[in-house]
Amino acid sequence: MRILVTGASGLLGLNLCLHLAEAHRVFGALHSQKLIDPPFQTLVSDLSNDRSLESLLKKSRPDLLIHCAAMANVDACESHPEEAHRINADMPGNLADLCKKKGIRFIHISTDAVFDGKMGDYSEEDTPNPLSIYARTKLEGEHLVAAEYSCAIIARVNFYGYSLSGKRSLSEFFLNNLKSGKSVNGFVDVMFCPLYVTDLVDTLMAMVVKELEGLYHVVSPESLSKYAFGVKIAEKFGLDKNLIQPKSVTEGGLLAARSPRLTLKIDKLKEAEITPPGQSECLEHFQTHYVEKLPEKIKAFAG
């Protein structure tokens, strides 16, 4: 299969490309961040430019496009709402329209943050109530994709893994600081259902094989607090869990509001006979890749 991945230098996009390149012809679309000698073909493109986008699709001729590119810095979105709307809402809508016209299968990556987190255990039928500009524009992106291409997969996700900078995920934050013996805060009142990134990739591809369509929650069936997540990482890597200070998110000094209970139901995914792994299995994969020096390999792509 020929697969085009946007945002190929981001945490999800890069891991998608690396994982899928073992069995597929993968093209990674880049914007400003270049990659050095990755094991897949890279194409530089401005996704907001129609001519550049047409050229990208002509060069890659994908059977499947996985749209990971986004303005994902939550606080930056608060400061630049128009840019956030252009990237997180308008862009995926345009991509969905083009993919429909060209008969290209399309996966749009959204976020669990579309919910306000007051209730938790949300299904796809529950009404979102985004608290931040980031979450609001991602929800608008969902709506535009669904309106343009009803056969597209819209995946609400939460994931972690290794990135170019080593600073993009909560898992890296805990691991790097704990290895350095630094004290960090862990929020006890923020619940989530994260997947290790390659487990997310495997789940998305299982959805493609089963020809699923529409909106799905694609997260772990098990939830935990961000504090507990940090403790599990410490225990898994033999680090000092006492360096993690249990704190409330209200003490975090964050610009944008965060949702406290982002626990999502995956019943719809299970009905399709797809069940992502639980927290222990995901952390096992996270540690295995660490031992295999995946963080160093990924950082090398940045030079």
Any idea which fold 2-165+193-223+263-300 has? Answer: Rossmann fold (3.40.50)
The verdict on pTM exceeding 0.85 is yes
Which residues are annotated as catalytic? Answer: 134
Closest CA to 38 of 58, 21, 62, 55: 21
> Mind listing the pLDDT tens digit for each residue in 226-242?
999 999 999 999 999 99
Residue 140 pLDDT > 90: yes
Under a CB-based contact definition with an 8 Å cutoff, are residues 8 and 28 in contact?
yes
Residue 223 pLDDT > 80: yes
> Mind listing the pLDDT tens digit for each residue in 54-82?
899 999 999 999 999 999 999 899 999 99
Of 42-51, 105-114, 185-194, 204-213, least confident by mean pLDDT is: 42-51
How much is the mean pLDDT over the chain? Answer: 95
What pLDDT score does 252 carry? Answer: 64
d(C-alpha 3, C-alpha 85), whole Å: 26
Question: How far is the CA of 117 from the CAs of 29, 84, 160, 187, in angstroms?
Answer: 33, 22, 20, 14
* Interacting residues of 121 by C-beta distance below 8 A, sequence separation 6+: 261, 263, 264, 265
